[in-house]
Structure 1
Amino acid sequence: MLKARLQSILSGQFIRNMGWLGSAELLNRVLRLGTTVTLARLLTPYDYGLAAVILTTQEIANVFTLRSGIGAKLIQAKEEDLDILCNTAYWMNWILCIGMFTLQCLVAFPVGWFYGNNAVVLPICIIALNYLLLPTFAVQGSLIFRENRLKIPAICNAVQSGLMNALTITFALMGMGFWSIVLPILLTVPVWVIINRAHHPWRPTGKFSLERWQELANFAANFLGVELLTKIRANVDYLLVGRFLGIEALGMYYFAFNAGLGISLSVIQSFTWSIYPHLCEVKDNLAAMRQRYFKSLKTIAMIIVPMVLLQASLAPVYVPIVFSQKWVSAIPILILICLSAIPRPFAEAASMLLQSVDKGRLDLYWNAIFTGLFIACILGAMQFGIYGVAVSVLVVHVLAIPLFSLWAKNYVFRFSRPRLAPSK
């Protein structure tokens, strides 16, 4: 009976998609481990700190391009609307990306002033060049997700990861410092262009058009708000630690985050992104959606929870052996932040559930509340140093996320039953 239940859980398109994305991310992390070991031995905490400032700026700006919500609307759109919306999305992406390239170059100067270090200005401008490649494959990528062919983005991720890690190690051995982390990000974006365009035939009509742009913009507004708040939460601790505790403290904290939560978080995001097209397929059938949602949660829990606990428990063993003794003081931070990964996939799944039934505004409200709470906790913990910050990250996630997940589930499957299409 147990075997039959496991076979039932570990089957179907969702599991195949999750398997492809998860396998690609696992390969990414195995390769990244070698890179992290190399960087930990060749780079100083100061180099890590500079890289953290540059990548944090880039991560926040990426929300307005990679995760703007335009692609999510194409995944959810009705078939009869798809041609018009795809063409409009293509031109909207160009407008957004050119705008973000210009804005990031301008923002680089106040960022350098904020940290009192102009060494970050040029790399922030250079890494912004990747925005100018995004519109050439963004629509194709969204349509591949819509068609549930998640094998393709998994291949993209694996190929880009292999190339990026090879370049990072090469540049680090050449003594390029923080540039060894920054440049490979830009140089490997063409992988996504080539593979996505090769695996989907869609091309723009050639005629500039913004027909029905309001429909895309209205959907994207809530999605964009959620993604922006998520990115702020993911990076605000870096910004505050670097500003108030110094670049070297930020380097130590950034190392602990990437050697701990960075591994788990990438796998979590790969798995939870499989949920969105999985739920959108049955968004008009509440009973089917409920079944898919809870089955997805069980599968994710079976994988994520043991993985995180194992990683956290082994941190005192592998950090000094793999990364060298100079990072031993980061072990308590690594363990605390790593454990905060356990509730995160359930919040991600709840957000995907609300988005799939056009309740993105409620997801936005929750993220605004949670972000405010998160920032307040980080600021309060700053007086206790980076260890206090790590404790606050764990506590706020463990206490707040289960409440949101429970509320979202009840809203969609119990309280809103008359407003959502029931199963026939």
Structure 2
Amino acid sequence: MKVNILNNKLLENLAASYQQHFARLIKNALWLLSSEVLGKGSRLLTIIVLAAILTPSQYGSGMLALACHDILRLLLRSGAGNQVINCSEEQLPVIAKNAMSLQWLMCILLIILQLLLAQVASLYFANPDVAQLLTVMAVSYALFPLVSVRVFLLQRNNNMAFVGLCSGLCLLIENLSIAALVFISEDVMAIAYGKIIFSIAWLIIFSFAPSKDFAIGFDWEVIKKLLSSSSKMIFAESGKALQQHLDLFFAAKLLSPESFGLYSFAKSAGIGLSQSLNSAFNNALYPQLCKFNRDGHFEHRVRNIYWLTLLVSSAFVAQAGAAFFYIPLLFADSWTAAIPVSSILCLSACATLFVDVKCNMLRAQRCYSCENFIRLFTLAICMTGLLIYQPESPIALASAMLILAGISLAIFLPINRFHHNKPALKNA
């Protein structure tokens, strides 16, 4: 009898813990989603202003520069942030101190790389506006290291309410600044100035973050181990960032300036909103996955995570249908040709969401090699498909992206790699 009572209590405790973890995950995702809604709601206003004032070729130049900038900016996620979020409490002080140094090194490197990329992109795409935009945007990296570790600690502690609200406020400031500047100047450079304003707002707002302060440190042995872990993730982040914007690079090269501007608009008005939901969900999911892995409960959560992912992906399907209503309602008739393109791109985001969740699971378990393989191979599938097909219209390019995303999902979703690793940086 006593054994049965104990077993019943154990099952009740496990069920309560199970519900608590997923309630926290949903709560965190909703906080981050509120940030994205705030940001993308204001972004929609910005898109309306840009579409009304800029020509399609100017619009395309701005989106191309943003794509190049975002690829480098996403590399910051391969820095020390994952280690700060995923390490044990004993390792945290040492890792947090050295993480600051690593973030500074990465941001200085990114400034140099973006200045070089500005010249290369300008020559390759025969577009001098891109060089000017990227050069100005490079300045934004200089401010992020000052508060980056504070943000990592907030994520580690699952304080997504603060992260979500402050991130949303920063995005709101950026988007309203771009809309105001482009309305006043009618110049595509307003997009670059908006990025500078965003980084200033990010620095000021997160300086008040309720997280513990750590002095900057530089222990070469710890830095080497952080670099070793970061290097395993840099290919995954590079592959993800490149695949996210690969269609824009092909569009800039294969389509006419007007068609490229149309495709860029369709992507920003459609899949751009879906990518925000993807980002909010995966950013909320990662700290929770790390906790599951530390507690040894990973395998028991996988099926529910996939069901939750399926629920999130249904929003993308809904947006694909809604594009036929909100684009003609909000934008001029000259942009209506982008409606089917935008709808198809929203559907392709469903497959991308599942691949991102799979990679998030592998990263939380420190299966970096498997994550890298998935990211780089999916990029290879996408690039090879576009090189063979050579789409010559926006609708053909969007259809190709949908098919290639589906192929990637079919190949990699069945991969299961669930095991528990010893904490990284054990001797740090």
Fold equivalence (TM over 0.5)? yes
Question: Cα RMSD (Å) of the superposition?
Answer: 2.3
Whole-angstrom CA distance in 1 between matches of 2:309 and 2:349: 12
Q: Which amino acid aligns with 2:201?
A: V
Whole-angstrom CA distance in 1 between matches of 2:137 and 2:214: 26
The equivalent residue for 2:30 is 19
* Structure 2 residue 383 is the aligned partner of structure 1 residue 375: yes
Whole-angstrom CA distance in 2 between matches of 1:198 and 1:204: 14
Q: 1:321 aligns with which of 329, 332, 350?
A: 329
Q: Which amino acid aligns with 1:13?
A: R
Contact 2:85 2:152 in 1 (8 A): yes
Helix, strand or coil at the partner of 1:188: helix
Whole-angstrom CA distance in 2 between matches of 1:160 and 1:206: 25
Q: 1:346 aligns with which of 332, 344, 354?
A: 354
Helix, strand or coil at the partner of 1:358: coil
The equivalent residue for 1:303 is 312
Contact 1:84 1:211 in 2 (8 A): no
The equivalent residue for 1:411 is 417
The equivalent residue for 1:205 is 215
The equivalent residue for 1:293 is 302
Helix, strand or coil at the partner of 2:292: coil
The equivalent residue for 2:396 is 388
Which structure 2 residue ranges, 5 or more long, are not aligned? 1-17, 423-428
The equivalent residue for 2:8 is none
Q: Which amino acid aligns with 2:376?
A: A
* Structure 2 residue 39 is the aligned partner of structure 1 residue 28: yes
Q: 1:166 aligns with which of 170, 176, 189?
A: 176
Q: Which moved more, 1:354-363 or 1:244-253?
A: 244-253
Whole-angstrom CA distance in 2 between matches of 1:396 and 1:185: 32
Whole-angstrom CA distance in 2 between matches of 1:277 and 1:327: 40
Q: Deviations over 1:2-35 (max 9, x none)?
A: xxxxx96996211110110012212222222222
Q: Deviations over 1:62-121 (max 9, x none)?
A: 133x21231011111111111111111111111121122122112211221112222222
Q: Which amino acid aligns with 2:256?
A: G
Contact 1:17 1:274 in 2 (8 A): yes
Inter-CA distance 78–9: structure 2 relative to 1 (3 Å threshold): closer
The correspondence of residues 81-230 of structure 1 with structure 2, limited to 5 A, is 81-205=91-215, 208-230=218-240
Q: Which moved more, 1:25-34 or 1:265-274?
A: 25-34
Q: Which amino acid aligns with 1:54?
A: A
Contact 2:31 2:161 in 1 (8 A): yes
Contact 1:9 1:295 in 2 (8 A): no
The correspondence of residues 53-68 of structure 1 with structure 2, limited to 5 A, is 53-64=64-75, 66-68=76-78
Q: Which moved more, 1:308-317 or 1:234-243?
A: 308-317
Contact 2:344 2:402 in 1 (8 A): yes
Give the deviation of 1:188 after TM superposition: 1.6
Helix, strand or coil at the partner of 1:281: helix
Helix, strand or coil at the partner of 1:174: helix
Whole-angstrom CA distance in 1 between matches of 2:88 and 2:241: 29
Whole-angstrom CA distance in 2 between matches of 1:321 and 1:206: 51
Q: Which amino acid aligns with 1:330?
A: A
Inter-CA distance 328–358: structure 2 relative to 1 (3 Å threshold): same
Which structure 1 residue ranges, 5 or more long, are not aligned? 1-6
Q: 1:79 aligns with which of 46, 66, 89?
A: 89
Give the deviation of 1:313 after TM superposition: 1.5
Deviation beyond 3 Å, 4+ runs, structure 1? 7-11, 200-204, 206-211
The equivalent residue for 2:79 is 69
Inter-CA distance 206–311: structure 2 relative to 1 (3 Å threshold): closer
Give the deviation of 1:244 after TM superposition: 2.5
Q: Which amino acid aligns with 2:62?
A: A
Q: Which moved more, 1:155-164 or 1:135-144?
A: 155-164
Whole-angstrom CA distance in 2 between matches of 1:206 and 1:72: 18
* Structure 2 residue 51 is the aligned partner of structure 1 residue 40: yes
How high is the TM-score relative to the length of structure 1? 0.90
Helix, strand or coil at the partner of 1:78: coil
Q: Which amino acid aligns with 2:160?
A: L
Whole-angstrom CA distance in 2 between matches of 1:118 and 1:420: 49
Q: Deviations over 1:261-317 (max 9, x none)?
A: 10111111101111111011121444x223333323322322331x22222113223
Contact 1:47 1:251 in 2 (8 A): yes
How high is the TM-score relative to the length of structure 2? 0.89
Contact 1:48 1:254 in 2 (8 A): yes
The equivalent residue for 1:277 is 287
The equivalent residue for 2:342 is 334
Whole-angstrom CA distance in 1 between matches of 2:231 and 2:407: 28
Q: Which amino acid aligns with 1:411?
A: R
Q: Which amino acid aligns with 1:71?
A: G
Contact 2:271 2:349 in 1 (8 A): yes
